[in-house]
Structure 1
Amino acid sequence: MDDRGGLDDIDGLLRDAFGNIANLEEGNSGLNEDAKRFYKLVDKAGLELYLNCTTGFSRLSFIIHLYHLKCLHGWSNTSFTSLLELLKEAIPDLNIPTSFNKAKNMVKELGLDYEKIDVYPNDCMLYRNEYINDSVCRICGESRYNQTPTTDGSEEDFALLNKVHKVDAKTLRYFPLIPRLKRLFMCPNTTEALRWHDEQRLKDGCIRHPADGQAWKNLDSQYPNFSKELRNLRLGLQRMIRHNLDVMHIEKNIVDSIIGTLLDIPRKTKDHAKARYDLKEMGIRKNLHPINTKDGKRTKLARACFSMTKGERSIFCGVLKKIKLPDGSASNISRCVQQEERKLYGYKTHEHHFMLHYLLQIPIKSILPDHVAIPLVRLCSFFHQLCQKEISFEEINGVRDCRDFVPVGENFSADLF
């Protein structure tokens, strides 16, 4: 089914994929393999599922949908064969294959096949190319196969020690890349998208796409002949920083650390006895060093500049509890605020992201002193800039300047982040 609830146009899909082959000139002598495959698929797509079928399914489209369900729900090959047999028995006129292997061969013609490669279980080596006929691993010497005797339970079979069935210890399913890249250029819609970076991309100095980044430009200058052909694809090219780092996970850690420390939440705060002893060991922030009592039984921790009173923590939680957000911007963050306990918990990754970008600045700026609040607000702005859909090179240079965050390190414990 397509996005509108209608049946997929398999015939149209094939013509999109192989349309250039279908329009062969009459003078061509013979058909190449791609052309033969196209006409074979078109013939299959045109076969009726059953006589006078009006459901919109062809023989090929019905099998593709069944195969898709098999993959989605993890049906075994045997169960798939049993289903085909049952359908054929219940509806004798149904024009479908009678086994999984026959159905798979139909789908294979679409170019969705994979290559099986034997591999050692510890991933030492692949049995391919010059190693394809090896039976033991050249790294560790272990066997390529699981030695399993084939037996039906009779004493004779147990006696034949050399009667074994070779079962691969581990198999890698490799989906060849080149045929899939070729198919991308067979469809007019995807062909246009693959050329978009050169023909339609806005080139105004802002970074919106990997083609705007320096890594792309460096590759073009290093391989000028490659870059001249706009249809050449760059796979695995290093992207901008927000794509190289797991920004959402980093934001989650930072928000947890900030909220846990400001609200002094047990097991989440970064301002604990161990952190204070670390400051003492490093010989910095002497005003925060732990102080032992005269009897040596207790340790006192001085109040830090970012420490909040119970009243301030209540105000902090109250702001987040009562805040109203536009529909669709974030989930109901107020449900995560426990105002009586002066704690926040239960918020998810997107809530971390939204609070860091838009919400934390409000209670932080209204409660904490400027020398603590301003660096935290700038830290929030840093991530907001980093995650923009477009950013200029001037803004990137500003983001790279870490001097604004020096006060964060001066005011908070060393392991805040």
Structure 2
Amino acid sequence: MTWVSLPKYSEAYSNGVTDFIQNAFDNFATGSELRCPCKDCSNRFWFSEEDVYDHLVSNGLCPSFVNWVYEVSTPKFKKVDQEMDCDSGMVLGEDFDKMIRDESRVRNGMNDTAKRFYKLVEEGKQPLYPGCEQFTLLGFVVKLFLLKCTHGFTEGAFSGILKLIKEAFPDVNLPSSFKVAKNMIRELGLDYQKIHACPNDCMLYWGENLNLTKCKFCGVSIWKLPKNRTDAPVSPDLEEKKSKVPAKVLRYFPLKPRLQRLFMCKDYSKLMTWHALERTKDGKLRHPADAEGWKSMDANHPNFTADPRNIRLGLAADGINPYRSMNISHSTWTIILVNYNLPPWLIMKPENLILSTLVPGPVYPGNDLDVYMQPLIADLKELWEVGLQTYDAYADETFMLRSSLLWTISDFPGYAILSGWSTKGKLGCPNCHYCTSSLYLKHSRKVCYMNHRKFLPPDHKHRFDTRRFNGKVETDVCPPPLSGKDIEELLHGYENYFGKRDAKKRKRGADCLFKKKPIFFQLPYWRDNLIRHNLDVMHIEKNICDKIIGTLLNMGGKTKDHISARKDLQEMGIRKVLHPIKIGDSNRYEIRAATFDMMKKEKESFLHYS
């Protein structure tokens, strides 16, 4: 296929795009639309034939889909379903067909889970009807599920569509209802668990609490109560007649079957060892495996490192508003796992991110997030201590898969929720911890963190610069960060109190500034991790850039150089040239422009009102 490398304005390129679109729409289109493989869309969005042609001619082809386009453009092309499994991040199209092709090659050495999986695949690849070459049973069901999720079909509508198709085409090999179709997908490991939770975030009805009907901490029922009902006792006969709806439901996507499924595709299984066998090792930071945190894990746990197929994960958590209208105050927390075994160009692809937990809203859980992470931590602990028997399609063998959690990723408020250390107040710096240098600004009404020069080398010239800073020579040294072992010793015997039931109990242990003992310390290796929590780049870049640009351009509402800041400088007795000058007996102040202010030269001062 030579047209991809040709100039986009050439006639040969245009003809190649036309041939590709004609073949692709014959085999891949859903209705009159196709996923566009241009650079901007990257096979994520659906467009009509004309729009796809315009995108490919104007934007060009995304490099990731050159091989796929080549297969589509080949005259001997055979149908491949290219749908995404939104639940797990696995491709159920090209990669899934590779699993099916590999299935006929591998039989010996498979464990029972793999044999059962391939048996289900064998049943799912049956033609939709006798002689059908376009769809398999599983491929068609996945397409229907995608349409259901995309267009918001109800379960009744989904079952009605299946019933109508079977009535119109009696020979079609389709499930009879939504429930049967869902069971078919569930058998392939694409299911999730519904776990009831206390509406006050005290506990999960899970594990030893599975059979309880009331919270053992606050006494609130597991079920929703009618609006006109109080907590007064109700007779058992009447209670049985009431329709029972759970008050709060956690949705957990089991981790172990998802990790097993990564190794059932030959190509994915090969990529899972890329970090050890194919990575360029020249001392440059190109992959998390080049970082000190990864190397520290390898040095502390050589048995885990011995098999490169063992998976290193990162945990990202943040709150989202699932509603389009931002006027609705709602916070649903998602916990997503990042697979770091893959090459760097695949790690952050949406299809390779593993959705682990959905914590329901509308109120964000805060420090009680640990309650909802119990199933995930239990799986991670078992994957470390026991392992999971997994079939490797690339090596054609069964091995014990283990997994570890390297670190978490969040914004700064999320850092406090995951680590247990409050990121607000006088000791709000997790790195400086008890040695944080802070000052409350009276006029700005906020806490400012000072003495940043202590992080500089002892002989740095800025340490001795008194005019540009606080008028003093900086003699403090950089405080050592708290290691995992230090935190574990500080929190020894600390008792967590979760839920919104008793605020006084949560203040126990006032001598310790941690709000809780993080659940991550249940993992045997967490105390040895060099880096346990990370801040995401997006918030840091955006917030810092906004404040710097707003201050340099003196943008109203965004600048940090305002009248309150100038009064705080006067209160501190530093940078006298920037102090505000009061005009007469009024409340008006005149302030001189700072040297960093990019204002017009003829304007040397502004008048502000206090």
Fold equivalence (TM over 0.5): yes
User: Alpha carbons of 1:312 and 1:197: their partners in 2 closer, same or farther (altered >3 Å)?
Assistant: farther
> 1:215 pairs with 278, 288, 293, which one?
293
User: Structure 1: which amino acid aligns with 2:121?
Assistant: L
The normalised TM-score by structure 1 is 0.63
Query: Is the deviation greater in 111-120 or in 35-44?
Result: 35-44
- Residue 177 of structure 1: how far off its partner (Å): 0.7
In structure 2, how many angstroms separate the alpha carbons of the residues matched to 1:221 and 1:11?
38
- Residue 245 of structure 1: how far off its partner (Å): 2.5
Q: Which residue of 2 aligns with 1:7?
A: 80
8 A contact 1:148–1:167 mirrored in 2: no
User: Structure 2: which amino acid aligns with 1:39?
Assistant: K
User: Alpha carbons of 1:31 and 1:21: their partners in 2 closer, same or farther (altered >3 Å)?
Assistant: farther
> 1:248 pairs with 535, 538, 550, which one?
538
| 2:250 alignment partner, SS class | strand
> 1:187 pairs with 241, 265, 288, which one?
265
8 A contact 1:22–1:38 mirrored in 2: no
Q: Which residue of 2 aligns with 1:52?
A: 131
- Residue 74 of structure 1: how far off its partner (Å): 2.8
8 A contact 1:146–1:166 mirrored in 2: yes
- Residue 31 of structure 1: how far off its partner (Å): 8.8
Q: 1:287-307 CA deviation, whole Å, 9 max, x = no partner?
A: 111111234453221232223
Q: Which residue of 2 aligns with 1:367?
A: none
In structure 2, how many angstroms separate the alpha carbons of the residues matched to 1:82 and 1:212?
53
User: Alpha carbons of 1:273 and 1:161: their partners in 2 closer, same or farther (altered >3 Å)?
Assistant: closer
User: Alpha carbons of 1:33 and 1:260: their partners in 2 closer, same or farther (altered >3 Å)?
Assistant: closer
> 1:234 pairs with 312, 329, 338, which one?
312
> 2:244 pairs with 149, 156, 166, which one?
166
In structure 1, how many angstroms separate the alpha carbons of the residues matched to 2:111 and 2:290?
42
User: Structure 2: which amino acid aligns with 1:259?
Assistant: I
User: Structure 1: which amino acid aligns with 2:595?
Assistant: C
Q: 1:13-35 CA deviation, whole Å, 9 max, x = no partner?
A: 2662794686335xx9x993532
Q: 1:35-66 CA deviation, whole Å, 9 max, x = no partner?
A: 244224313312x3223334x11222111110
| 1:204 alignment partner, SS class | coil
Q: Which residue of 1 aligns with 2:204?
A: 126
User: Alpha carbons of 1:80 and 1:294: their partners in 2 closer, same or farther (altered >3 Å)?
Assistant: same
- Residue 162 of structure 1: how far off its partner (Å): 4.5
Structure 1 runs (4+) deviating above 4 angstroms are 1-6, 9-12, 159-162
**Which aligned pairs between 1:397-416 and structure 2 lie closer than 5 A?**
none
User: Alpha carbons of 1:52 and 1:224: their partners in 2 closer, same or farther (altered >3 Å)?
Assistant: closer
In structure 2, how many angstroms separate the alpha carbons of the residues matched to 1:249 and 1:33?
42
Between the aligned residues of both structures, percent identity stands at: 47
Q: Which residue of 1 aligns with 2:515?
A: none
In structure 2, how many angstroms separate the alpha carbons of the residues matched to 1:20 and 1:98?
28
In structure 2, how many angstroms separate the alpha carbons of the residues matched to 1:297 and 1:239?
49
In structure 2, how many angstroms separate the alpha carbons of the residues matched to 1:203 and 1:12?
29
In structure 2, how many angstroms separate the alpha carbons of the residues matched to 1:256 and 1:249?
10
In structure 1, how many angstroms separate the alpha carbons of the residues matched to 2:113 and 2:543?
55
In structure 2, how many angstroms separate the alpha carbons of the residues matched to 1:210 and 1:33?
31
8 A contact 1:277–1:290 mirrored in 2: yes
RMSD (Å) for aligned C-alpha atoms: 3.2
| 1:301 alignment partner, SS class | strand
Which stretches in structure 2 are left out of the alignment for 5+ residues?
A: 1-27, 29-34, 36-42, 44-68, 73-78, 83-92, 228-236, 315-405, 410-530, 604-610
Which stretches in structure 1 are left out of the alignment for 5+ residues?
A: 150-158, 314-417
Q: Which residue of 2 aligns with 1:35?
A: 115
Aligned residues: 298
8 A contact 1:213–1:239 mirrored in 2: no
Q: 1:209-231 CA deviation, whole Å, 9 max, x = no partner?
A: 11111111111111121112211
The normalised TM-score by structure 2 is 0.44
Q: Which residue of 2 aligns with 1:400?
A: none
In structure 1, how many angstroms separate the alpha carbons of the residues matched to 2:221 and 2:124?
44
User: Alpha carbons of 1:175 and 1:302: their partners in 2 closer, same or farther (altered >3 Å)?
Assistant: same
User: Alpha carbons of 1:220 and 1:287: their partners in 2 closer, same or farther (altered >3 Å)?
Assistant: same
User: Structure 2: which amino acid aligns with 1:234?
Assistant: R
8 A contact 1:119–1:144 mirrored in 2: yes
More strand by share: 2
